[in-house]
Amino acid sequence: MKHPPRSPRQALPTDAAELTRLRLVMLHSAGIVPPESWSAECERWFAERLPGDRFAAFVIDDGAERLLSCAVGQYADRMPRPGQGPHVGHIASVATDPDHRRQGHARRVVAAVHDWLTASGCGQINLTASPEAEPLYRSLGYATMAGPAPMTWSAP
């Protein structure tokens, strides 16, 4: 029996363990296996930040305590630029429980985070797409930026 689509809601500190579980799902799909102690650190991190002024997670739950899907958004001030809002946003940690994929959950949580970021004044929102998720993001209006290639520095 097919259930009607669930609506996203903003995550609370009590969702920290499930957000961490879904983040692990996302990391494992990218071939990243954090050390066992990492989960407690991640759970504490979510619990301390939710709800936040410039940080939010949107989730779809099963009506009980299990999360089916999540997406996280945060934003920072940006230097003034013509035609852009005062903030730049970032969407991350988009994950859906493997048993609940292909039901539109990821689309709904990403759209909820996107709407929250734009309502907060973000004139630009960045994300990193896996090859599997790229079609979803493109269908929501995300595109590869023209111009200079974005570059990143990471500590060794």
Domain spans, the chain = 9-139
> Using an 8 Å Cβ cutoff, are 101 and 42 in contact?
no
Q: Which class for 63: exposed (0-12), middle (13-18), buried (19 or more C-beta within 10 A)?
A: exposed
Q: Is 66 helix (H, G, I), strand (E, B) or coil?
A: coil
Average the pLDDT over 47-58 and give the result: 95
Q: Which residue has the higher pLDDT, 141 or 112?
A: 112
* pLDDT bucket at 1, cuts 50 / 70 / 90: very low
Does residue 148 carry a pLDDT above 50? yes
pLDDT value at position 6? 83
- For domain 9-139, give the CATH number: 3.40.630.30
- Supply 31's token pair: 């071939």
